[in-house]
Amino acid sequence: MLYPQRLTQLTKEHTDAVAAILCGVLLFLGWFALHLGFLGWALLLLPAAYVIGGYESAREGLTTLIKEKELDVDLLMIVAALGAAGLGLWRKEYHLIIDGAILILIFAISGALEGYAMQRTERSIRSLMSLTQDTARVLRLGQEEVVPISQLKVGDEIVVKPGELIPTDAVIISGYSTINQAAITGESLPIEKTIGEEVFAGTLNGYGALHLKVHQPPESSLIQRVIRLVEQAQDSAPPSQQFIERFERRYARFIVLAGLLLAILPPFIWGWSWEVTIYRALTFLVVASPCALMASIMPTLLSGIANGARQGILFKNGAQLEMMGKVRAIAFDKTGTLTTGQVQVFKVIPNSGYSSEDVLKSAASVESSSEHPIGNAIVQAASALDWVKAVEVRAIPGQGIVGLYEHKQTIVGNATFVKQHVTVLPDDLQDAACLLEEEGKTVVWVAQESVVLGVIAIADLVRAEATTAIAQLRKLGVQQIVMLTGDNQRTAHNVAQAVGVDRVYAELLPEDKLHIIHRLQQEYHTVAMVGDGINDAPALAQASVGIAMGVAGSDIALETADIVLMADRLEKIAVAMHLGQRAQATVKQNIIIALSFIVLLLIGNFLGSINLPIGVIGHEGSTVMVTLSGLRLLRK
Ligand code: ADP
Ligand code: MG
């Protein structure tokens, strides 16, 4: 599914390459003609080489000059080439015209090469999209009918056969299968899905036949949104790039000024001949241009972003990729992040005078409006009981939830929160809660009006990979790993011990989490926060890098976080970090290479030990070198 504008881009790369080749052929013929003494032919062929090879750069350079009143390197190149040609005609030193043509040729070749390099990162991201189907099999009046995806409507029923791609985001209404979600999450291990579960466009159906109901328009499917995000990431220049671009503009003006001075002053100061002076001034224009510097950052970051996208790691922009390489401290949310968040009711202890059913029913009635994992667990546990949804429900993030059930105010939440509403927390229940918390269970209190009905202990499993994931992060140089939770101290410490974090902060409200991130930033500068993106939004926003995980489905996380891990796997954090470190190191290397070349060529030119073609080769060579070096980030 290529968009028209991509197609024009493709043909553009193509014309660039053809222009470069034509320019090369004309240059060769011109050189040959000059050698054989056919001056007339040479003066016909060489200008043609100039026009064909330099047309695109001249057009771009002039557009920038006219529209933005800015000089860019394209224009400098053309001026240098024309200068060489002019000098050649004037002094009847026709080899200078060849020098100028070589400049144009090499500039055209490297332009085509860079275009190709950019296209590779683009293609790499497009490969996400190649996984999407064009058609779907719809059931209409009992008949299967093949229709284009764009004609699918919400409510349509579609059929997916074994081994086929899922055409659009939909919910399974019958059937059972294993689904390979690698296209979205980067995880190639298939997962089992059945009735009621959501499947995503671009994922691969396993052995079962599935009937699906389309529940959202195809254009807002997860993979489409992911592709849009990655495209936006490509378009937004990170601060380092913006800095270099601002620098380039000022620098280009400086080069022109310096070039002019170099073309005028040396005969008076050092007694250079005019010919040598102008030739060196032209070479100066070429070698001093910051092309390589300009190409040091973006190709690298784009390659990194593309690589991440293929592994189910979405960087919202290049800046976040760079930032991820600098992280020195990481804060993890507990519930749903270090733990699986697939929580279950472990035990219900009623207060005297009440039954377990009373406790569960009241709790479920308010929790049925909650998005919190605890709420889900309670509703699930009460599914066989008879209760109705509470009204006027209000969730207080990090504390609990209240609502009206059977005309009574019903409160579910942690001890501190419930204590504000009731007269006493019975001693025997407090003791029981304490024991459960030491085992790592989360205990919530249920009260009605001012009376405690009982407590519910919730069990949550620590993720199996948590310990290894944290060890990997330490190996990558993270100095401080902390856990933040709204849960109580005892439960928190139990989990912390199991996974091996450095510090634990418990009984936090969402805004407390933000303050802790702030404090960590003062100590460690670059701090990442990993959360589920729903109740951790303030902390995610405060962190230098906010990472949301396991969100194949949740919109909020996709919007608020800087980095989104599509798979529900903690190891991906280390992968993202490693990628960030590689990107950072490559950018640094590139800048050093670019600057070294500029300095060396400038010195060589000043001493007269390089000619124009060598200057151009060094200059363009270093530009292509840093671009290709950036492309290494495409590799895993
Ligand atoms: P975490 O920081 O571990 O993700 P939260 O900040 O979401 O936890 O919640 C902190 C505590 O507040 C929970 O451990 C629980 O005791 C209480 N709580 C929050 N929301 C609810 C809810 N919907 N029902 C019951 N208790 C809740
Ligand atoms: Mg949470």
Neighbours of 555 (CB within 10 A): 12
Instruction: Identify any residues that bridge with 475 across adjacent strands, giving them in sequence order.
Output: none
Q: With bands split at pLDDT 50, 70 and 90, how would you rate the model's confidence at 554?
A: low
Place of tokens 């013929």: 29
Query: Same domain for 43 and 175?
Result: no
Give CA–CA dist 560/483, Å, rounded.
20
Tell me, what's the pLDDT at 26?
92
Place of tokens 């989360």: 442
* pLDDT tops 80 at residue 345: yes
Q: Are 83 and 282 in contact (CB under 8 A)?
A: yes
Kindly give, in sequence order, each residue whose CB lies less than 8 Å from that of residue 575, ignoring residues fewer than 6 positions away. Answer: 311, 313
Q: Residue 185: how many CA atoms within 13 Å on its side-chain side? A: 23
In three-state form (DSSP H/G/I as H, E/B as E, the rest C), the secondary structure along 371-428 is CCHHHHHHHHHCCCCCCCCCEEEEEECCCEEEEEECCEEEEEECHHHHHCCCCCCCHH
DSSP assignments along 6-65, one per residue: HHHHHHHHHHHHHHHHHHHHHHHHHHHHHHTT-HHHHHHHHHHHHHHHHHHHHHHHHHHH
Residue with the smallest CA separation from ligand 1 atom 16 is 414
Tell me, what's the pLDDT at 482?
96
Q: Residue 121: how many CA atoms within 13 Å on its side-chain side? A: 29
Lowest mean pLDDT among 467-476, 555-564, 625-634: 555-564
* pLDDT tops 70 at residue 488: yes
Q: What is the mean pLDDT of residues 545-570?
A: 76
How far does the centroid of ligand 2 lie from the alpha carbon of residue 371, in Å? 11
Q: Domain end: 216, 244, 261, which one?
A: 216
Give CA–CA dist 598/594, Å, rounded.
6
Number of domains in the chain: 3
CA 301, 302, 305, 306: dihedral to nearest 10 degrees? -140
Instruction: Identify any residues that bridge with 458 across adjacent strands, giving them in sequence order.
Output: 345, 442
Query: Same domain for 98 and 247?
Result: yes
* pLDDT tops 70 at residue 2: no
Q: Which ligand is nearest to the CA of 458?
A: 1
Q: Are 299 and 565 in contact (CB under 8 A)?
A: no
DSSP code at position 165: B
Q: What is the mean pLDDT of residues 223-234?
A: 75
Q: Which ligand is nearest to the CA of 548?
A: 2
Residue with the smallest CA separation from ligand 1 atom 6 is 398
Residue with the smallest CA separation from ligand 1 atom 24 is 400
Query: Same domain for 350 and 453?
Result: yes
How far does the centroid of ligand 2 lie from the alpha carbon of residue 533, in Å? 8
Tell me, what's the pLDDT at 185?
75
Tell me, what's the pLDDT at 550?
67
Q: What is the mean pLDDT of residues 287-297?
A: 85
**Does residue 204 lie within any of the structural domains?**
yes
**Does residue 141 lie within any of the structural domains?**
no
* pLDDT tops 60 at residue 5: no
Place of tokens 């996380």: 557
Using the atom order of ligand 1, give the atom closest to the CA of residue 367.
23
Kindly name the residue from 72, 333, 358, 460 that is annotated as catalytic. 333
Query: Same domain for 99 and 25?
Result: yes
Q: Which ligand is nearest to the CA of 492?
A: 1
How far does the centroid of ligand 1 lie from the alpha carbon of residue 442, in Å? 9
> Ligand 1: residues within 6 Å at CB?
333-335, 367, 370, 372, 374-375, 395, 398-401, 412-414, 442, 444, 485-487, 535
Tell me, what's the pLDDT at 553?
47
pTM: 0.79
In three-state form (DSSP H/G/I as H, E/B as E, the rest C), the secondary structure along 50-111 is HHHHHHHHHHHHHHHHHHHCCCCHHHHHHHHHHHHHHHHHHHCCCHHHHHHHHHHHHHHHHH
Checking DSSP bridges between strand 563-565 and strand 545-549, what pairing results, if any? parallel
Q: What is the mean pLDDT of residues 453-460?
A: 93
In which domain, by residue range, is 411 found?
A: 340-462
Query: Same domain for 212 and 240?
Result: no
Q: Which ligand is nearest to the CA of 487?
A: 1
Q: How far is CA 410 from the centre of its chain?
A: 43
Tell me, what's the pLDDT at 474?
95
Using the atom order of ligand 1, give the atom closest to the CA of residue 510.
6
Residue with the smallest CA separation from ligand 1 atom 27 is 400
Q: Which ligand is nearest to the CA of 374?
A: 1
CA distance from start to end of the chain: 25
Query: Same domain for 395 and 281?
Result: no
Helix (H) / strand (E) element for 159: namely: strand 157-160
Give the chain's mean pLDDT: 86
How far does the centroid of ligand 2 lie from the alpha carbon of residue 452, in Å? 25
Give CA–CA dist 381/376, Å, rounded.
9
Q: With bands split at pLDDT 50, 70 and 90, how would you rate the model's confidence at 551?
A: low
Tell me, what's the pLDDT at 273?
85
Query: Same domain for 30 and 166?
Result: no
Residue with the smallest CA separation from ligand 1 atom 15 is 414
Nearest to 133 by CA among 159, 107, 172, 113: 159
Tell me, what's the pLDDT at 22?
92
Radius of gyration of the CA atoms of the chain, in A = 32
Using the atom order of ligand 1, give the atom closest to the CA of residue 485.
2
Tell me, what's the pLDDT at 183?
75
For 132-162, the pLDDT digits (tens) are 678 889 988 888 889 998 888 899 999 999 9
Q: Domain end: 418, 435, 462, which one?
A: 462
Question: Edge-to-edge, what's the strand order for the sheet holding 204-205?
Answer: 191-194, 176-180, 204-205
Tell me, what's the pLDDT at 361?
95
Q: Are 387 and 370 in contact (CB under 8 A)?
A: no
For 355-390, the pLDDT digits (tens) are 999 999 999 999 999 888 899 899 999 999 999 999
Residue with the smallest CA separation from ligand 1 atom 26 is 413
Q: With bands split at pLDDT 50, 70 and 90, how would you rate the model's confidence at 565?
A: confident
Tell me, what's the pLDDT at 4?
32
Could you tell me the two tokens for 252? 């280009």
Could you tell me the two tokens for 68? 């933005």
Query: Same domain for 100 and 200?
Result: no
* pLDDT tops 80 at residue 557: no
Query: Same domain for 403 and 275?
Result: no
Residue with the smallest CA separation from ligand 1 atom 4 is 335
Measured over the CA atoms of residue 278, residue 283, residue 284 and residue 285, the dihedral's sign is positive
> Annotated catalytic, 333?
yes
Q: Domain end: 429, 462, 495, which one?
A: 462
Residue with the smallest CA separation from ligand 1 atom 21 is 400
Kindly give, in sequence order, each residue whose CB lies less than 8 Å from that of residue 385, ignoring residues fewer than 6 positions away. Answer: 357, 360, 361, 364
Q: What is the mean pLDDT of residues 203-228?
A: 86
Give CA–CA dist 569/499, Å, rounded.
15
Using the atom order of ligand 1, give the atom closest to the CA of residue 412.
25
How far does the centroid of ligand 2 lie from the alpha carbon of residue 12, in Å? 49
Query: Same domain for 211 and 239?
Result: no
The best mutation among 333, 485, 491, 512 to test binding of ligand 1, ranked by most ligand atoms within 8 Å of the C-beta, falls on 485
Q: Cα angle at 126 between 63 and 189, to 5 degrees?
A: 155
Using the atom order of ligand 1, give the atom closest to the CA of residue 414.
16
Lowest mean pLDDT among 10-24, 356-370, 518-532: 10-24
* pLDDT tops 80 at residue 536: no
DSSP code at position 467: H
How far does the centroid of ligand 1 lie from the alpha carbon of residue 398, in Å? 5
For 21-75, the pLDDT digits (tens) are 999 999 999 999 988 888 889 888 999 999 999 888 888 888 888 887 777 777 8
Give CA–CA dist 326/341, Å, rounded.
29
Query: Same domain for 433 and 360?
Result: yes
* pLDDT tops 60 at residue 11: no
Using the atom order of ligand 1, give the atom closest to the CA of residue 513.
2
Q: For residue 269, give Cα distances in angstroms to 78, 122, 273.
A: 28, 51, 11
Tell me, what's the pLDDT at 132?
67
* pLDDT tops 60 at residue 507: yes
**Does residue 116 lie within any of the structural domains?**
yes
Q: With bands split at pLDDT 50, 70 and 90, how would you rate the model's confidence at 316?
A: confident
Instruction: List the CATH number of the domain containing 383.
Output: 3.40.1110.10
Tell me, what's the pLDDT at 447?
95
Query: Same domain for 207 and 237?
Result: no
* pLDDT tops 50 at residue 1: no
Q: What is the mean pLDDT of residues 502-527?
A: 91
The best mutation among 367, 444, 484 to test binding of ligand 1, ranked by most ligand atoms within 8 Å of the C-beta, falls on 444
**Does residue 523 lie within any of the structural domains?**
no
For 93-142, the pLDDT digits (tens) are 888 888 889 888 888 888 888 777 777 767 766 666 566 678 889 988 88
* pLDDT tops 50 at residue 7: no
